[in-house]
């Protein structure tokens, strides 16, 4: 059984990531309005009724903007830590809201979601891996520094969303005030292109087939620059930059592909994915 995944949006203007199999799926964060998530999922041919849970990484507005409306409208369970919920100031259905803790494993149908804590300037931030039939997709964004937890999870992923937020040179020479530059680079902000590249080069497994570079800064990065950095070391890994303006293609990974993976663009068209 394959895992299908896409970025509904990725950036400081809103984050939302979809991962699922043929029968059920989860969202990580709902940082766009409910209406916008609906519109983009419809364009992709994704059925909202297959979304069985929402997992929230932290309370910043670009990760929770549409959560209350979306979860209430579709009666979807929300997994969110106590501290994140408190600091979000959201009103959620208590009967359909569940806690998160470090290294917690949660079963949603045939999907196993693992939450683990990360370095970010939020109350209680988490990253996630989603696993089905020994295939694992990671969602690793809003991370201030690479830690052993991240390395341990990344090195077992068949595919991942990985933050490449800023170019150090563009940030240093840009117009951001000093305190904001320090926040971004201070170990609890965001990963730079170089930090993401180092993680990929040193810790990717041989069977990693996809890497979606995510949460790029509008002011302090350049998608073409990031793609250029990763291209020489991509190997058999398909590397794409997740857009901050639109949904990505739907990709899939299967444990049958991991030994001899060859990218065929025809496989990645929504009308061929049997998602309805």
pLDDT tens digits, residue range 208-225?
999 999 999 999 999 999
Instruction: Identify the three-state secondary structure at position 262.
Output: coil
- Write out the H or E segment, with its range, that includes residue 183: helix 178-185
Helix axes 67-74, 34-44, angle to 10 degrees: 60
Alpha-carbon span 235 to 7, nearest angstrom: 22
Question: In the prediction, which pLDDT does 1 show?
Answer: 73
Query: Which residues are registered as beta bridge partners of 115?
Result: 128
Going edge to edge, which strands form the sheet with 78-79?
97-98, 78-79, 51-55, 25-28, 16-20, 3-9, 251-253
Q: Which of 129-133, 189-193, 254-258 has the lowest mean pLDDT?
A: 254-258
pTM: 0.92
pLDDT tens per residue across span 130-167: 999 999 999 999 999 999 999 999 999 999 999 999 99
Q: Domains of the chain, with CATH numbers? A: 3-272 (3.60.15.10)
pLDDT at residue 99 greater than cutoff 70:
yes
Asked whether the predicted pLDDT for residue 204 surpasses 70, the reply is yes
The least confident of 102-111, 174-183, 256-265 is 256-265
* pLDDT for res 255: 80
Is residue 23 within 8 A of residue 52, CB to CB? The reply is no
DSSP letters along 187-237, please?
Answer: SSS--BHHHHHHHHHHH--TT--EEEEE---SSS--HHHHHHHHGGG-TT-
Confidence check: pLDDT of 272 > 50: no
- Start-to-end CA span in the chain (Å): 16
Query: When comparing pLDDT for 265 and 229, which is higher?
Result: 229
Q: pLDDT tens across 35-71, in order? A: 999 999 999 999 999 999 999 999 999 999 999 999 9
Going by pLDDT thresholds of 50, 70 and 90, the confidence category of residue 122 is: very high
Confidence check: pLDDT of 175 > 80: yes
Find, among 79, 268, 53, 23, the residue nearest to 159 by Cα: 268
């Amino acid at each position: 059984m394959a895992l299908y995944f896409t970025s509904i949006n990725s950036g400081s203007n809103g984050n939302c990531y979809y991962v699922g199999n043929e029968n059920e799926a989860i969202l990580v964060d709902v940082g766009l309005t409910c209406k916008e998530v609906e519109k983009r999922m419809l364009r992709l041919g994704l059925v909202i009724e297959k979304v069985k849970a929402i997992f929230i990484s932290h309370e910043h507005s670009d990760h929770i903007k549409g959560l209350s409306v979306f979860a209430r409208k579709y009666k979807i369970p929300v997994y969110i830590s106590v501290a994140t919920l408190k600091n979000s100031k959201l009103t959620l259905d208590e009967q359909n809201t569940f806690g998160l803790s470090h290294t917690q494993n949660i079963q949603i149908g045939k999907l196993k979601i693992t939450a683990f804590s990360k370095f970010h300037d939020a109350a209680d931030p988490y990253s996630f891996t989603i696993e089905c039939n020994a295939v694992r997709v990671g969602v690793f964004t809003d991370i201030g520094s690479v830690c052993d937890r991240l390395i341990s999870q990344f090195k077992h992923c068949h595919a991942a969303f990985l933050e490449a937020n800023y170019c150090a040179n563009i940030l240093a020479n840009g117009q951001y005030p000093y305190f904001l530059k320090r926040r971004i680079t201070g170990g609890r902000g965001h990963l730079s292109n170089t930090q993401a590249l180092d993680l990929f080069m040193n810790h990717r497994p041989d069977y990693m087939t996809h890497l979606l570079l995510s949460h790029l800064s509008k002011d302090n990065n350049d998608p073409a620059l990031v793609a250029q950095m990763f291209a020489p070391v991509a190997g058999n890994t398909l590397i794409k930059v997740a857009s901050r303006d639109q949904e990505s293609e739907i990709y899939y990974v299967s444990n049958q592909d991991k030994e001899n993976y060859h990218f065929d663009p025809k496989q990645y068209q929504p009308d061929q994915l049997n998602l309805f």
